A and B are shown apart, each in its own frame.
Chain A
């Protein structure tokens, strides 16, 4: 049986390449992703006001849909992950809220589904170099010599007390993954900085300014490629580089999802890589 999977809106529209590469690598690794038969948008923001329960309806419905499918649900988009994991944490500690939402939606969510980021499945179900079925053992085409800058952003890690995936200031999970693929992780000071998120709509200058700092810094630390987990980060870091002024140094650096690098390293066919949808073409890094 596959692992219940919530793709979310962006992976089924704007970031199909993330979805496609993830499904392909998951299958190869024996962690097949099984899309929830019915799902809707998570709402994209976790309700922060204590007296706001309306925004919990959508995530709770998803958790309930996941409950029918199993004990855990996995997702890839950092925004969906943040919303679902925190909603789950809230419902777990606030029984009154759980009852209220259940009453309202006429559903019976028991509050026990574990929301796992796909990265966690790789780390905990497989392991990197050691473990039950280490990822490193599946690598057919090691990314030797590739200097990859892991970029975590904010929503995957913060707030720590509700997410608890990795150290919020000094995370390692993507570093470990890259090492297992044979690449060399590059540290740079902006790796947990925010990309500017949706402020693109208000003033593109905000994400473009932030993006320039982040990408330039990665480049200055020797990165050939920036590796991300979030479709919004991918867009915010890649799009401003459509013109050469994308970084302060003028050199353009491809921004890829970790699953795309995995598809390459696991020796999967090129159509699973999904490199055609990028502003800065990553393909040249992998020319035979």
Chain B
């Protein structure tokens, strides 16, 4: 059974819900588990905890369980839940905050999804416009470094996907470098540096 001694040993952190409310702007405390979000969530079937369950866990301060759940990486931000929740709770921003917290606190991210987010940003940084071939390659390299089995499983599928796209002339080979690309790269570097400085001063301050 999933709920065994482990469930009893869950540590709680009662400030957890407040922090999430603060950073996401969503009042997670007002959820009364009507399950409407879960019922309409397109990816609930691949989440270990369903959206309404996650809300309850947040309220109870079950930080570790929440931050290590697959749920936070499987939410694709479709906003169906936020549109339907009787308490106007939007889970997309909540999940975004949780992903950031999970990364900051070194919880293992869902590698494939995390790599995609990374390679997206890297591709913009390098080329200005997103470029699918670069992106796919980077995505795969990141993935390879992290988890071999997933890489090989995924690669076969992607090669097929890539080949199909190529055959149909849907992928272009030469990234469209645009004017101002150096400027964009510099902006991202500066922004990253600023936000890590801010974080340090928050910690020490």
Q: Do A and B bind each other?
A: yes
A277 to B128, CA, bound (A): 26
User: Which of B1-9, B41-49, B58-66 is the interface stretch?
Assistant: B41-49
Task: Pick from A10, A38, A54 the residue with the most CB of B within 10 Å.
Answer: A54
Set of chain B residues within 8 Å of A239, measured between Cβ atoms: 161, 164
A73 to B132, CA, bound (A): 25
Q: A50-B24, A105-B187 are in contact. Are A41 and B76 (CB under 8 A)?
A: no
User: Which parts of B120-177 form the interface with A (CB within 8 Å)?
Assistant: 120-121, 123-124, 128-132, 139, 154, 157-158, 161, 164-165, 168-172, 176
Give the top 3 A-B pairs by smallest Cβ distance, nearest first. Answer: A158-B79, A194-B78, A48-B96
A158 to B83, CA, bound (A): 7
Does A49 lie within 8 Å of B164, measured CB to CB? Answer: no
A108 to B168, CA, bound (A): 42
Interface size of B by CB at 8 A reads 63
> What does the 1/0 interface line of B173-202 toward A look like (CB < 8 Å)?
000101111001001101110010000000
Does B80 lie within 8 Å of A158, measured CB to CB? Answer: yes
> What does the 1/0 interface line of A198-225 toward B look like (CB < 8 Å)?
1111111010011000000000000000
B102 vs chain A, min Cβ distance (A): 13
| A-binding residues in B (CB < 8 A) | 23-25, 42-43, 45-46, 73-74, 76-80, 82-84, 90, 92-93, 95-97, 100, 110, 112-113, 115-117, 120-121, 123-124, 128-132, 139, 154, 157-158, 161, 164-165, 168-172, 176, 178-181, 184, 187-188, 190-192, 195
Set of chain A residues within 8 Å of B181, measured between Cβ atoms: 40
Does B124 lie within 8 Å of A41, measured CB to CB? Answer: yes
Set of chain B residues within 8 Å of A39, measured between Cβ atoms: 178
SS class of chain B's interface: helix, strand, loop or mixed? helix
A57 to B192, CA, bound (A): 12
A48 to B93, CA, bound (A): 5
Does A158 lie within 8 Å of B170, measured CB to CB? Answer: no
- Asked if A43 is an interface residue, CB under 8 A from chain B, the answer is yes
SS class of chain A's interface: helix, strand, loop or mixed? loop
A51 to B95, CA, bound (A): 14
- Asked if A30 is an interface residue, CB under 8 A from chain B, the answer is no
Does B100 lie within 8 Å of A49, measured CB to CB? Answer: yes
Does A38 lie within 8 Å of B178, measured CB to CB? Answer: yes
| B-binding residues in A (CB < 8 A) | 9-10, 12-15, 38-41, 43-45, 47-54, 57-58, 61, 104-105, 154-155, 158-160, 168-169, 192-194, 196-204, 206, 209-210, 239, 242, 277
A155 to B64, CA, bound (A): 31
Does B92 lie within 8 Å of A48, measured CB to CB? Answer: yes
Does A40 lie within 8 Å of B178, measured CB to CB? Answer: yes
A257 vs chain B, min Cβ distance (A): 14
Task: Identify the closest chain B residue to A205 (Cβ).
Answer: B46
Set of chain A residues within 8 Å of B82, measured between Cβ atoms: 158-159
A193 to B39, CA, bound (A): 12
Task: Identify the closest chain A residue to B154 (Cβ).
Answer: A201
Does B191 lie within 8 Å of A38, measured CB to CB? Answer: no
A191 vs chain B, min Cβ distance (A): 12
Set of chain B residues within 8 Å of A38, measured between Cβ atoms: 178-180
Does A49 lie within 8 Å of B83, measured CB to CB? Answer: no
Q: A41-B124, A41-B130, A57-B188 are in contact. Are A154 and B79 (CB under 8 A)?
A: yes
